[in-house]
Amino acid sequence: MGRIVFAATLLGYALVPVAALLLLRSTDRELSLILRDAGIATIPMIALALITWRLVWPRWKLVAKVVVHPFLYAILSIFLGAWSILIAWIHQGVLGLGGHIWFSRRHGFTWYAVEDPDRYVALSKAMVSRLDGTPPAPPASET
């Protein structure tokens, strides 16, 4: 299951920029408005990436998010106009930051300054492995 999810994720990361570029070529919406919306929508994601970069696992996911999210927001802007900014900020705030705060509190971290990034990543890996049905790996202290 893990390889299928990984492959689907990579395929999604590859298709979003292609779809955005195709849509940009065929839309009637002014390019400057799309770029404005995508730029404003990307601000929280860039800020959070600068703060939480050491907590993102796997590492390639951080680069992929920074590259793909602006294209995703451009697609939203084409279809929803300036509402794309609100949707993007809600997505980043509620799901991204909210999920991080919930996870941090659940595992005893200070959400704004995670004291042990390695433990945070290990707990994230264990949680993801439980979601896809594979047994969690033993903690580093047990090996």
Q: How confident is the prediction along the chain (143 residues), in pLDDT tens digits per residue?
A: 567 877 887 788 889 999 999 999 999 999 999 999 999 999 988 888 888 888 887 788 888 888 899 999 999 999 999 999 999 999 888 888 888 899 999 999 988 888 888 998 898 888 877 665 555 555 555 44
8 Å CB contact between 34 and 78: yes
Neighbours of 4 (CB within 10 A): 9
Beta carbons within 8 Å of 31's beta carbon, 6+ residues apart: 24
